[in-house]
Amino acid sequence: MGEKIMRIRRIAEIMEALAQIPHTSVLGVIEGGKLLSLSLVQRDKALYSLDPESGKMERLTKGFVSLPSIPPYFSSEIYFARDVSSGKELHKLYKLDVNKKEEEEIEMEPMRITSIVHSDKVFFVGSKEKNTIYLVEGGKVEEVASFHEVFSITDYSQGLLVGSGFFKSPRSSELLLIKDGSVEIFTPKEGSVNENPIIVGDKIVFSSNFEGSPKLYVLDPETKDVERLEYEEIDRFSPYEFSFLWKGKDQELIAIAKKDGRSRVFVDGKEIKGPLGNYSTAFVVEGKVYATFTNSFTPSSVIELKENRFIFKPEVPEVLKGVVKEVIFRKIRSFDGTEVPTFIVLSSLSEVPGKAVMLVHGGPWAEDDDRFDVMTYSLASMGYHVIRSNYRGSTGYGPEHTLKIMGDPCGGELKDLIEVARSLKGEIAKEMCIAGYSYGGYMTLCALTKYPDEFKCGVAGASVADWEEMYELSDAIFKGFIELLFAGRNDLFKERSPITYAENLKAPLCLIQPQNDSRTPLKPVLKFMEKLNELGKTFEAHIIPNMGHALRTVDDMVNVLMPMLVFLEKEM
């Protein structure tokens, strides 16, 4: 009993330490030359100004921020979305006056906001019955165009609004061009993946794989001529994808290119060297390059590249230092020859092989890479080795890898995870549990019900239990997401739902579900629990009150991590 109490105290100590780590990302340069950042510095995410010389931060917004826009350089106004529904992700748009620190609420119905463009005009995409583009003028909103398909908007200039989406097929994406009320869907080649369009001068720059691996191209919006941007240093790096395209104050082209879990920043094709890891945003003013940086040992920070000077770099609390002994990157061959890029995070508090947790990322269009991850550190701090695999469907490894999941959820990607787990048992893991949040929670339920002897236990957070009911409960954007994931095969909903296989469950299961989750709703999970109970299965459940899908506060993070760690302590 004494040792158990000590372990629980250790968990509480880790939670307190993780809660102290601020996380920040740079969103641009605002009036006065200060950086704009979205930061979790206190207990919630908010907008801050960040002095690039002193590193001093000043809070700008009163409440939390759900989704910020990237403002024009040196703007005194910032537009952002805020959830007004206790986590149900019904948002309203706000305009912030940087100097007065005053917020103006835009007159509109609450709706899910998925992207915002702030240029000399302001647009956003809101989802209700359809996915609609709105123009913001005079504190009110006006409909521009509506679509059934999943898409986002990315830039606006001189009357032209651009974006990209899955307009023609679940296995391709096209550019969206809107000018003077005219809507055009453009692709340089049918079946290709075209993303990240921005307007530089009077041309559109975007990434595409229409000639093979992803490269950068320029589109003339009038003639529709497409030319490749040939940059020797980018070609030499040979990235799998471009995760961020933007422009500097003087129209310099900023590109963040990714390969094997790490990224590099390029300005007009020249690499701006910095520490090894991941960059998520970058901005250029008067030759200075400001970027958001992280790696497996460095929490999200703001750095001035060229000088390699950290403007904001959080300290890792003493209790967490050294808990990650080594991070190994490996590509593990799956059942059909697909390579599954995998990060193996070894805890310094455990022998090898030892106790391990397969931590599955959400999305599925997301990735595990070389970054500081709170869930990973919480597990490593308790002596678990952590296995993070980029199953088919993950981003970061090219469109072909990402699109392999279409029409096959709880299929090939699940087999990828099983193959990785089997290949590492004995070498890394003496025993292994599986855990995940969102799509990672869904994968956990799929694994435990379709491969019931594979894992010792499982933790499923904000998971999908029943696609049929989830589809009926979803708004336009998530109905579109589900249709996209299933490639129109809605007849597969029942076959790919964990509730269909509930009777197969053998391993202990911990369910963690936000009460107000509108992406993966509570109702189907409650029915899954009811079925498990009727079948006499062993499980525990934690319903988190007044919380939505997104972890937007420190309390949200603790409410998910604490029951996970206590459960794993009991079962491993």
Q: Write the burial class of residue 201 (CB in 10 Å: 0-12 exposed, 13-18 middle, 19+ buried).
A: exposed
Q: Let me know if residue 7 belongs to a domain.
A: no
- Using the predicted structure, report yes or no on whether residue 444 has a pLDDT greater than 70: yes
Q: Let me know if residue 554 belongs to a domain.
A: yes
188-225 per-position pLDDT tens digit = 999 999 999 999 999 999 999 999 999 999 999 999 99
Ramachandran assignment for 203, one of left (phi > 0), alpha (psi -120 to 50 degrees), beta (any other): beta
- Using the predicted structure, report yes or no on whether residue 181 has a pLDDT greater than 90: no
- Using the predicted structure, report yes or no on whether residue 468 has a pLDDT greater than 70: yes
- Using the predicted structure, report yes or no on whether residue 42 has a pLDDT greater than 80: no
Q: What is the pLDDT of residue 307?
A: 87
Per the structure, how many domains does the chain have? 1
Q: Let me know if residue 434 belongs to a domain.
A: yes
Give residue 460's identity as a one-letter amino acid code.
A
Q: What is the pLDDT of residue 552?
A: 81
Question: What average pLDDT does this structure show over 397-404?
Answer: 95
249-294 per-position pLDDT tens digit = 999 999 999 999 999 999 999 999 999 999 999 999 999 999 999 9
Q: Let me know if residue 69 belongs to a domain.
A: no
175, 334, 399, 429 from 396: Cα distances, Å: 20, 18, 8, 26
d(CA 149, CA 484): 9
Q: Let me know if residue 463 belongs to a domain.
A: yes
Cβ contact 177:156 at 8 Å: no
Tokens 């392999």 sit on residue: 404
**Which pTM was predicted?**
0.95
- Using the predicted structure, report yes or no on whether residue 226 has a pLDDT greater than 80: yes
Query: CA quadruple 443, 444, 445, 448: dihedral positive or negative?
Result: positive
Local structure of 237: helix, strand or coil:
helix
Q: Write the burial class of residue 223 (CB in 10 Å: 0-12 exposed, 13-18 middle, 19+ buried).
A: exposed
Q: Is 301 a catalytic residue?
A: no
Cβ contact 543:525 at 8 Å: no
Local structure of 553: helix, strand or coil:
strand
Q: Mean pLDDT of all residues in the chain? A: 96
Catalytically annotated residue among 438, 463, 497, 518: 438
Q: Let me know if residue 285 belongs to a domain.
A: no
Q: What is the pLDDT of residue 474?
A: 92
Catalytically annotated residue among 517, 518, 542, 556: 517
Query: Three-state SS string across 36-55, please?
Result: EEEEECCCEEEEEEECCCCC
d(CA 52, CA 286): 13
Question: What average pLDDT does this structure show over 90-115?
Answer: 97
d(CA 523, CA 31): 46
Phi first, then psi: what are they for 207, rounded to 5°?
A: -105, 145
**Which residues are CB-neighbours of 291 under 8 A, at least 6 positions away?**
26, 265, 274, 279, 281, 282, 283, 302, 303, 305
129-177 per-position pLDDT tens digit = 899 999 999 999 999 999 999 999 999 999 999 999 999 999 999 999 9
Q: What is the pLDDT of residue 1?
A: 59
pLDDT-derived band at 539, boundaries 50, 70, 90: very high
286-319 per-position pLDDT tens digit = 999 999 999 999 999 999 998 899 999 999 999 9
Question: What average pLDDT does this structure show over 42-68?
Answer: 93
- The crossing angle, in degrees rounded to 10, of helices 412-424 and 439-450 is 70
d(CA 419, CA 554): 35
**Residue 383 is part of a domain; what is its CATH number?**
3.40.50.1820
Q: What is the pLDDT of residue 2?
A: 66
Tokens 């990157």 sit on residue: 329
Q: Is 173 a catalytic residue?
A: no
- Using the predicted structure, report yes or no on whether residue 410 has a pLDDT greater than 90: yes
Question: What average pLDDT does this structure show over 472-489?
Answer: 93
Q: What is the pLDDT of residue 121?
A: 97
Cβ contact 311:290 at 8 Å: yes
Question: What average pLDDT does this structure show over 481-508?
Answer: 96
Cβ contact 421:358 at 8 Å: yes
Structural domain boundaries, residue 399: 318-571
Question: What average pLDDT does this structure show over 453-462?
Answer: 98
Q: What is the pLDDT of residue 510?
A: 98
Question: What average pLDDT does this structure show over 454-471?
Answer: 97
**Which residues are CB-neighbours of 492 under 8 A, at least 6 positions away?**
407, 409, 467, 486
Percentage above 70 pLDDT, the chain: 100
Q: Is 438 a catalytic residue?
A: yes
Q: Order of strands, edge to edge, in the sheet holding 298-305?
A: 278-285, 288-295, 298-305, 309-312
Q: Let me know if residue 540 belongs to a domain.
A: yes
Catalytically annotated residue among 118, 361, 385, 549: 549
Query: CA quadruple 305, 307, 312, 316: dihedral positive or negative?
Result: positive
Q: What is the pLDDT of residue 529?
A: 98
322-346 per-position pLDDT tens digit = 999 999 999 999 999 999 999 999 9
Q: Let me know if residue 469 belongs to a domain.
A: yes
